[in-house]
Structure 1
Amino acid sequence: MNILRPITIGGQEFKNRVLFPPLTTGYEDKDGTINEQSRAFYTRLAKGGVGYIVLGDVAPIPSFAVTPKLYDDSQIECFRKLADNVHAHGAKLGVQIFHPEYNSEVLNALFAAGKMEEVRSQLHHDMDHFVNEVMPETLDQIIDKMCACALRAQQAGVDVVSIHGDRLVGALCSPIMNTRSDEFGGSLENRTRFALMLVKAMKAAVPDMVIEYKLPVITPERGKGGVSIDEAPIFAQWLEQAGVDMLHVAQANHTGNMADTIPPMGVQPYCFFADITALVKSVVSIPVSTSGRIIDPAMSEELLNEGKADMVGIGRALLADPDWVNKTLAGRPQDIIRCIGCNEGCVDTVLNRSFIACVVNAENGFEAVRFITPAEQRKKVVVIGGGACWLRGCSCGCY
């Protein structure tokens, strides 16, 4: 199967074409440390056969969000432990670097000084404000901090730097969110200026690492942060020229509706971003990946066979069954526990300030302490009722 074939990206060989895309897991400690829970989760994915794993939302500065953080040398060691674990199973590790719209250390200092107006002015929690207020000199400082983060990732043994093209970068690129009148606003060339500056700086800072760029695309129905469908092929070519080794094409976000990018059952069709990905892939020579309700090997194989993508992002389906790849490799795709698209454990729990879990996988989120093993004595069991999904109050209709 093509999905199981190796692929070379930026001079590095990935053992297969299955990637675990960046998700906010909620597993990390409040200070951003990759703890045992987080390490066990990603290690389990690598053990299950995934070729490329990306940590989502790695911040290069302090922030209040419970995401991984890599802004100080003292944090390198926890990332090194994770990289070693993942590499032991033949997988590559990437970190998706993003910049939040505030720095918690600055805010805490202002708060301690009683400067509440300044606190309120900075703590918008909304890129709609920040993207149009941030000064050019601050953008230069942000690039420096993101490059410093990449250097720490390199020291930790991480293989790939994935630039988060949504968030601040995508907001600057956006024809909807960016209303600036300076050199960072207006035309597509101006709106993508920061993104291309960042890519070139990152390439210079860590020339031996693979540089990936998440390319969010605004569709007529969804998304605000990113570029339009017509602009995406042009921007993709500019990114390749700037030094990007791989593109990950995905639905743009910044709408406040998680269903736009992580659609539950019935909201979007399977493989819903494949055609837009194919449009981008047709104009570049570097590998292109995508994600979006791709849940089984047959769907993945079809995307590759039709030339719509070079790698396939499997997110929620790997939460449901981390052995997705190994079962495919063993010729047992029928044994894969399928994601039901309920979003009950993976999305709702994170929005409620908890951590990712899965209604069809009791190990998920508890990989360090729970282990599903065969029963010592085989029995025939009959389940009467709607099943675990119904018992948890899910409204997906799968029962």
Structure 2
Amino acid sequence: MSKLFTPIKIGNLVLKNRFMMAPMENGLAQIGGEMSEGLIDFFVERAKNEVSIIITGSIAVSPEGRGLPTQLNIYEDKFIPELKRMTDAVHEAGGKIGAQLYHAGRQASQGVTGIQPISPSAIPCEILGNNPREMTKKDIDEMHRKFVKAAERSIEAGFDLIEVHFAHGYLLHSFLSPHSNKRTDEYGGSLENRMRFPMAVLRDIIKVCGEKVPVTIRISADEYLKDGLGFEEVKTICKEAEKAGVKAISLTAGSYDSVEYTIQPMFVKQGFIVPFSEKLKRNIKVPVIVAARLNNAELIEDIIENDKADMVAIGRGLISDEELVIKMKNKQYKDIRYCVACNQGCIDKVFIGQGVQCLVNARAGREKDRKIQKAEEIKNVVIVGAGPAGLEAARVAKLRGHNVVLVDKDDKIGGKLETLSSPPEKETFMLFKEYLYNQMTKLDIKFVQKEIKSAKDLEEFSPDSVIVATGSFQTVPQIKGINSKNVLIAEDVLNEKVKVGQTVAIIGGGLVGTETAKFLAYKGIKVHIIEMMDAIAKDIGATFVGHLFKLLNEYGVQQHVNAKVEEIKEDLIILEDKEIKVDNVIIATGYKPNDSIVENIKDSFKEVYLVGDANSPRRIIEAVEEGFLVSSEI
């Protein structure tokens, strides 16, 4: 048997395999931090699917330490009964659950808590732009007591393990890091001084836990900041934590000021923390747990089989596929629905106060309500369009027992997935296409290449239900000279259907425009982005946008904001205040539904549904969700 599926001991706690659900914010608790049924269902679903231990997202030990409106709380006794209800549910489902105790520190927001944040030094968080105050010694003593009291409550609430948050720029980590700790007293300066408060908290938590539950820490292996906490000091901290009595160390990376290393998007290498876990294992004796973009079965197996870590902590991969552990155990590799690291549903939604969603898994966060159940009446379901919405609709309809035919004018599936994966660092979108293709093959879904122009073209399939998933097409703005030979459509450029000159102007600075700019600038083409709004990239998430601007700057992409195009000429684009010499003008200004066949089909068939961009142009996450929901009801 693979070592992945052998038990491991963390202190006196025996875990059935080497899979931990990493602590991730999920936004499923109620606003204010009260328990919700959705959160319990979310954890229970993973426990039922053989995740050995689930670590909650951060649980606040003090009111001003809450970073998000939907984080759980443990700073008063009143929270214990509902936390106990959650731990009982996970235990009943066959899993274990650990509490991650934290205080957001300088990464808390007064907008969430109504209280000024506290920090070792009064240094604002770059992302939040907040105004923390420097902690007094009285504050430090009080916070020390709150952490220890939170540990006592965790035991009472039935948690199997306590993880103390030493990572990601939160309060204890911000004391450890020279980036955020500029104190000149006994809590700042040398590593010994910077460790003083976090280690005192840790020792006393270990003392109150005794033999009841093991205590672990989660720590950033590297903060990825010039003046941040680096691995050499982290090794020393881990050795001290081991001496203090921690039973395992869980490695992560980054802080809010280097957020791309905390919640890694597509452009961060898979398994980039693994070299750190290998080195740490040579320095300590307790188990080492590693995380960070472990969205590949071969990589996960290699880590454990070759002793690069003792456990894997997987967050987004268990959001994207709640059955990941079972599928790996049964070697059903082609059935794994891998995380594509887009961060659109799991992080971008949670950061704005919504519950977790997932681009590739429409059930995520709605496990109880969105079950795939056998249909009461078997129907002939015809799906027009083999993009993400159509493919998901076909998968779900087939699983429910319907007779499914998938029709597309092209001889391949995937719709815009290939276009999306064309720019640099976006290739993991193809993981979802591979999954959908594998499911289509496994379920023996019939595919027919045919262009559907009217209801008559569907008659040979005798449909009871028709799902229109024909996508969208790019809009062309009404600009003088728009029909010039040098004007191109962004999708044609990304799909390399057209040739582009050495200097281009892209009209539109949203997601498509900026990704097209990256795609071309990477090839050495001089790019200008023309945007009517006051900034580009307004529709791009927090974990991507900083890296995007960095790349555009490195590539020399010129941004023209608050800019209106007056005219396009064969070698020129004319703005209100300037003229730019260009070889091509590329349109990236928006989309319209490709729904011209809908009314004709509705006149001929009783059940007609629109999903994805054919309904309204948006992102893949909404398209997949609509495909799932429509087929769930047929």
Q: TM-score range by the shorter chain?
A: 0.7 to 0.9
Q: What SS class does the counterpart of residue 381 from structure 1 fall into? A: strand
Residues in 2 aligned to 1:372 and 1:352: alpha-carbon distance in whole angstroms: 29
Q: Is the CA contact 2:123–2:132 (under 8 Å) kept in the aligned structure 1?
A: no
1:77 is aligned to 81
Whole-angstrom distance in 2 between the partners of 1:32 and 1:394 = 41
- After TM superposition, give the deviation of residue 204 of structure 1 in Å: 1.4
Residue type of the partner of 2:105?
E
| Contact in 2 for aligned 1:359/1:389 (Cα 8 Å) | no
Structure 1 residue aligned with 2:179: 176
The answer as to whether partners of 1:58 and 1:69 remain within 8 angstroms in 2 is: yes
Greater Cα shift, 165-174 or 345-354: 345-354
Matching residue of 2:48: 47
Aligned partners of 1:185, 1:15: CA distance in 2, in Å?
Answer: 41
Q: Is the 8 A contact 1:24 1:56 kept in 2?
A: yes
| Deviation of 1:379 (Å) | 2.6
Task: Read off the aligned partner of 2:79 and give its amino acid letter.
Answer: Q
Task: Name 2:9's counterpart in structure 1.
Answer: 8
SS at match of 1:284: coil
Letter in 2 for 1:165: F
Deviates more, 1:378-387 or 1:175-184: 378-387
Structure 1 residue aligned with 2:217, among 198, 213, 219? Answer: 213
Pair 164,389 (structure 1): closer, same or farther in 2 beyond 3 Å: farther
Q: State the alpha-carbon separation in 1 of the partners of residues 85 and 226 from structure 2.
A: 36
Amino acid at match of 1:179: K
- Alpha-carbon distance change, 86 to 177 in structure 1, aligned in 2, over 3 angstroms: same
Map Cα deviations across residues 51-75 of structure 1 (whole Å, 9 max, x no partner): 1101111001224632011122221
In 2, Cα distance between equivalents of 1:89 and 1:4: 18
Change (3 A) 1:108 1:259: closer
User: What is the alpha-carbon distance in structure 2 between the residues aligned to residue 89 and residue 320 of structure 1?
Assistant: 20
1:78-135 CA distances to partner (integer Å, 9 max, x unpaired)?
A: 1111111111232210111111338x9x9999x8xxxxxxx66869894699888211
The separation in 1 between residues aligned to 2:151 and 2:47, in whole angstroms, is 22
Q: Label 1:300 to 1:107 Cα distance change in 2 as closer, same or farther (>3 A).
A: closer
With over 3 angstroms needed to count, the CA separation of the structure-2 counterparts of 1:254 and 1:264, relative to structure 1, is closer
Q: Which shows bigger deviation, 177-186 or 373-382? A: 373-382
Relative distance call for 1:238 and 1:177 in structure 2 (3 A) is same
Q: Which residue of 1 aligns with 2:136?
A: 135
Superposition map of 1:223-238 within 5 A: 227-238=229-240
**Alpha-carbon distance in 2 for matches of 1:394, 1:324:** 27
Report what 2:625 is aligned to. Answer: none
Contact 1:101 1:125 survives alignment (8 Å):
no
So what's the TM-score if we normalise by structure 1?
0.88
Structure 2 SS opposite 1:158: coil
Corresponding residue of 1:197 = 200
Q: Is the 8 A contact 1:36 1:368 kept in 2?
A: no
> After the TM superposition, which residues 9-24 of structure 1 pair with which residues of structure 2 at under 5 Å, given as runs?
9-24=10-25
Cα distance change, pair 372–287 in 1 and its aligned pair in 2 (3 A): same
What 5-or-longer segments of structure 2 have no aligned partner? 374-398, 431-634
Taking the aligned partners of 1:304 and 1:126, their CA distance within structure 2 comes to: 39
Q: Measure the CA separation in 1 of the matches of 2:197 and 2:16.
A: 33
Evaluate the alpha carbon distance shift between residue 251 and residue 223 of structure 1 in structure 2; reply closer, same or farther with a 3 A threshold: farther
Map of 1:328 onto structure 2: 328
The number of aligned residues is 386
Mapped partners of 1:173, 1:77: distance in 2: 34
Alignment partners' CA distance in 2, 1:301 and 1:37: 31
Q: Distance in 1 between matches of 2:111 and 2:24?
A: 26
Aligned CA distance change for structure 1 residues 338 and 122 (closer, same or farther; 3 Å):
closer
Distance 1:122-1:334 versus aligned 2 partners, 3 A rule: closer
The amino acid of 1:250's aligned partner reads T
1:279 — aligned with what?
279
Q: Please report the TM-score for the alignment, with normalisation by the length of structure 2.
A: 0.57
Q: Is residue 146 of structure 1 aligned with residue 147 of structure 2? A: yes
1:1-399 matched pairs, under 5 angstroms: 1-63=2-64, 65=68, 66-101=70-105, 126=124, 133-166=134-167, 167-207=170-210, 208-218=212-222, 221-222=224-225, 227-255=229-257, 257-265=258-266, 267-373=267-373, 374-382=399-407, 386-387=414-415, 396-397=426-427, 398=429
Q: Which has the higher contact order (CA 8 A, sep 6+)?
A: 1
SS at match of 1:367: coil
Query: Does the 8 Å contact 1:172/1:178 carry over to 2?
Result: yes
> Per-residue deviation at 1:353?
2.6
For residue 116 of structure 1, what is the aligned residue in structure 2?
A: none
Give the conservation status (yes or no) of the 8 Å contact 1:132–1:179: no
Residues 68, 394 of structure 1: alpha-carbon distance in 2 compared, 3 angstrom cutoff:
farther
Q: What letter corresponds to residue 68 of structure 1 in structure 2?
A: L
- 1:317–1:338 CA contact under 8 A, matched in 2: yes
Flag the structure with higher strand content: 2
Contact 1:4 1:329 in 2 (8 A): yes
Q: How far did 1:376 drift?
A: 2.6
Q: RMSD of the TM alignment (CA)? A: 3.0
Shift of 1:331: 2.8
Distance 2:225 2:345 in 1: 23
Cα deviation, 1:288-321, whole Å, max 9, x if unaligned, reads 1010110133211111122210000111111110
Q: Which amino acid is 1:18 matched to? A: F
User: Structure 1 residues 98, 388: CA separation in 2 closer, same or farther (over 3 Å shift)?
Assistant: farther
Higher mean C-alpha deviation, range 305-314 or range 372-381: 372-381
Asked if 1 retains the 8 angstrom alpha-carbon contact of 2:320 and 2:338, the reply is yes
Taking the aligned partners of 1:170 and 1:149, their CA distance within structure 2 comes to 18
**1:242 positional shift:** 0.7
Native 8 Å contact 1:320 1:338 kept in 2: yes
Q: State the alpha-carbon separation in 2 of the partners of residues 222 and 378 from structure 1.
A: 55
Q: Deviation at 1:146? A: 1.2
